Structure 1
Amino acid sequence: MKTKTTFFSFLSVLYFFVQTGTAPENPHTENTNTCACEIYVPTAFSPNGDTQNDIFKAIPGTSCSLTQFNLKVFDRFGALVFESTSADQGWDGTFKGQSAPQATYLYVLQYEVSDETKKIPKVDSGTLVLIR
């Protein structure tokens, strides 16, 4: 069975992030994160104007106290198509003023949560599908 090229593109993009230092410089080797903050990131959205799932954005839980936030969305070739430093701002499915094509995209979410004693940096990444 032949492997799809997009799978390898996703891996090379993910490898690119790790190699360029976008990931935390000092990854934790033990689980000391006791913060209960959960951030929901949808796996698909459909910016078709029906007011349902028209915007892709990460949604912090009610118990989250975010001190930093950065969401980036890349196409399968690694081009940055969207970036936000606010949890309130999401991607509307456009790139350079045009509708982005229906495809699978990669997101990288870097944020910092604060509990009563310390700030905890976190990184999450995954794929999302833009449906037209």
Structure 2
Amino acid sequence: MSEASQSYNEGKGSFSNYTYSYIKGKMLTQMSRNNQHQDKHVLPEKEFWEWIEDQGSSPFLEKETILTYCEGLTEKEAKWIMASFIEQLTNMEIAERENVSISAVKQWKSGALSKLRKLKEKTAKYN
């Protein structure tokens, strides 16, 4: 209302008529903006989201895929890979579960990552 009173000109009619037109114009402008926003940002139908959820791979397949990368790693390095990537455990949680020090888990991690980097570099040379 204060915006309308600031731009009101007494010579052009009554304040109530001016305020009505001013507010109506603001509302129409906002409705137009909302419609434009909705046109630009269309959300997919419910069926789309259900289809996306169905497309997720099973944990078994993820585990099988990750295990293929563990070939050539020690048992402990593979254990770190699986616990980190499949179970989403931190180094501290792995150390507690395996009853070893965090330092030992970090060594497993370092060894695994080093071997995987070498494998990646070797594969990149052949591609």
TM over 0.5: no
When normalised by structure 2's length, the TM-score is: 0.22
Please identify which structure carries the higher helix content: 2
* Greater RCO, CA 8 A, separation 6+: 1
When normalised by structure 1's length, the TM-score is: 0.21
Please identify which structure carries the higher strand content: 1
Q: Which has the larger radius of gyration?
A: 2
